[in-house]
Amino acid sequence: MKNIVQHMSIYTSHHQKLITKVTHFIGIPAIILAIQIVLDWLHVPFLHSGHITVAWIAVSILLIYYAFLDVYLSLAAVLFLVPLTYAGHILGKGHFNSGSLLLFLILFILGWVLQLVGHYFEGKRPAFLHNAFQLLIAPIFLTAELLFALGLRKELQRKIDSAIR
């Protein structure tokens, strides 16, 4: 399994320009919210008489994976991913319906258009075209970039920057 520096250096090398980062800071949350809306329609029996949505299962698994990569980034990602999952729950209404389907389509398409616009200006193909696993790195990349901008995790940022060069 690659470590956080390896994953982040690959992802970061495809996202150097400010325009790409800005489009990703809007596009990635839009895509995540869209996916969480759809995953909220799917329920799994849980405990004795309850259920849990696949959205919460998916975000839990992703956060556990992030914890293996970097505990602090995983904890920070909770502040980003849990509200998106909860919003997906509210907007998805727990079952398939035309309103949330339309919202899913708008968010999903808008998110990907923004991603592609960013990569057009970056002049590089998206990282996931080289390795589909990079799709899972996008949320923790945003989390790390935000922490770096706040002056946190500078040592991790230096390691990532060194790995790119």
- Supply the pTM of this predicted model: 0.94
Q: Which of 96, 95, 131, 149 is nearest to 14 (CA)?
A: 131
Answer yes or no: are the C-beta atoms of 46 and 113 closer than 8 Å: no
Structural domain spans, the chain: 4-164
Would you tell me how many other CB atoms lie within 10 Å of the CB of residue 33?
21
Instruction: For the chain, give the percent of residues with pLDDT over 90.
Output: 86
Per-residue pLDDT tens for 110-128? 999 999 999 999 999 888 8
Q: What is the mean pLDDT of residues 119-141?
A: 90
**Whether residue 165 has pLDDT greater than 90:** no
Positions of E strands within the chain = 43-46, 50-53
